[in-house]
Amino acid sequence: MKRELDYFTVDGKPGGNQRWFWDPVLRIGGCAALCACDSCIALARTNGLSELYPYDAACVTRREYKRFAKQMKRYLHPGFQGVPKLELFTAGLGNYLADRGEKRLRMTEFSGLEPVETAAEVIRAEIDAGFPIPCMMLRHENPAMKDYIWHWFLLTGWADEEDGFCVQATTYSASEWLSLDTLWNTGCEERGGLILYRLAE
């Protein structure tokens, strides 16, 4: 069984891309800000939160996306180590939500120290409810995961495969399927985690 979000595209490719920016803050350290941008656009399109994106979420252009990212940079401006804590992301995006007058969206931090089985359960529930999932990875022992080290990206799908539970990771205008067991079990003490969205009743 497989479930993927109806995710937005820009120039025919999924989500935003840090490589679109000359500004070194966004090009090098802007992954958290762009993860927040992509979240807002996805939520505006499918969850009725149109105030989260100041342009047309049904037809996202690169020019408007870049303008939006520059706005979001004020809320999730990376420090020397980027945005390396879940609570920094929820605080920054929370300030943006407050400034937009959005009171329905709730965020919960889900630690990377939680068991992989629990992570699979919450990922399945979030995607099934139509929510993208910001994911932060810090370190990883597996060289195959090098593109995700010290990086924020979105999970936009899940799949039950013969060899285990997989997630769809979306970043840099591309998506790929990854084993959750490989993604989650980094072999390092320093862990990231997930941001879980919910709408208030």
* Per-residue pLDDT at 188: 95
Range of the domain at 26: 2-199
* Per-residue pLDDT at 194: 98
At 173-188, the pLDDT tens digits run 999 999 999 999 999 9
Task: Give the burial string for 43-61 (b: 16+ CB within 10 Å, else e).
Answer: bbbbbebeebbeeebeebe
What are the structure tokens assigned to 118, written together? 């629990």
Strand duo 174-179 + 193-199: pairing: unpaired
Look at the chain and report how many structural domains it folds into: 1
Q: What is the CATH number for 76?
A: 3.90.70
* Per-residue pLDDT at 107: 98
At 68-97, the pLDDT tens digits run 999 999 999 998 889 999 999 999 999 999
* Per-residue pLDDT at 171: 97
Q: Are 40 and 76 in contact (CB under 8 A)?
A: no
What stretches in the chain show pLDDT beneath 50? none
* Per-residue pLDDT at 201: 74
21 SS3 class: coil
